[in-house]
Amino acid sequence: MKEKGRKVIATNRKARHNYTILDTYEAGIALVGTEVKSLRDGKASLVDAFATVDDGEVWLRGLHIPEYTQGSWTNHTPRRTRKLLLHKREIEHLVGKTREGNQTLVPLSMYFSDGKVKVELALAKGKQDYDKRQDIKRRTEEREVTRELGRRVKGMR
C-alpha cells in the first residue's frame, strides 16, 4: 500500500539564514535499500550538505544518513556521494547559473512524496554578515508591528 502526501524527513534550517534563495527545484535521489529504511526512521542530516554538477550530472555531497540498525553487511556508508535525478534542461540551467557567478546548490529539505524520497534543492547566493543583520532587524521590526497591532485590536492601548 502506497503512502500519499508529503512527509518531511529533514530540513536545513541554516540554509535560509546563510543564503539568499534564488530558485528551487525538486529532485529525486538515487539511494540503496538500507538508506531508505534509515530515512523511514526519520534519521538524516542536511547540515553540511551541498550539491555539485559534474559531467552533466548533479551529485549531493555531505548528506549524512546513519547506518540502518538492523542492516548487515549490506549497510551503506553514511556520508557517501549520492546522485540527484533532474531533467536534462534543469541540469543545463544549473550548470549555467553556477558557472556564471557566485551561486551554489544547497539542499533545503528532504521528504517522502508518494513513497519516493525527494530533495528540495535551491540555487542560492551566499549572504554577507551585514545582510544577515539586516534580515534579523527586518524580522524584529515586523514582529513588533504585528504585536502592536494585536494590542490595539484587543484594546490594551
Whether residues 118 and 138 share a domain: the answer is no
Q: What is the pLDDT of residues 51-101, one digit of tens each?
A: 888 888 889 898 888 887 776 777 777 778 889 999 999 988 888 888 877
Whether residues 144 and 81 share a domain: the answer is no
Determine the pLDDT at residue 2: 60
Q: Is the pTM of this model over 0.95?
A: no
Residue 134 lies in domain: 128-156
Whether residues 122 and 136 share a domain: the answer is no
For 82-115, give one letter per residue: b (16+ CB within 10 A) or e. bebebeeeebeebeebbeeeebbbbbbbbbbeee
Say yes or no to pLDDT of 1 above 60: no
Q: Quick one: cell of 22? A: 534564488
Whether residues 132 and 103 share a domain: the answer is no
Determine the pLDDT at residue 87: 92
Say yes or no to pLDDT of 16 above 70: yes
Q: For position 36, which CATH number holds?
A: 2.40.280.10
Whether residues 26 and 90 share a domain: the answer is yes
Residue 99 placed within a domain: yes
Determine the pLDDT at residue 3: 63
Determine the pLDDT at residue 157: 64
Whether residues 18 and 86 share a domain: the answer is yes
Q: In sequence order, what are the beta bridge partners of 59? A: 52, 83
Per the structure, how many domains does the chain have?
2
Residue 118 placed within a domain: yes
Residue 2 placed within a domain: no
Whether residues 121 and 135 share a domain: the answer is no
Alpha-carbon distance of 149 to 157, in angstroms, equals 10
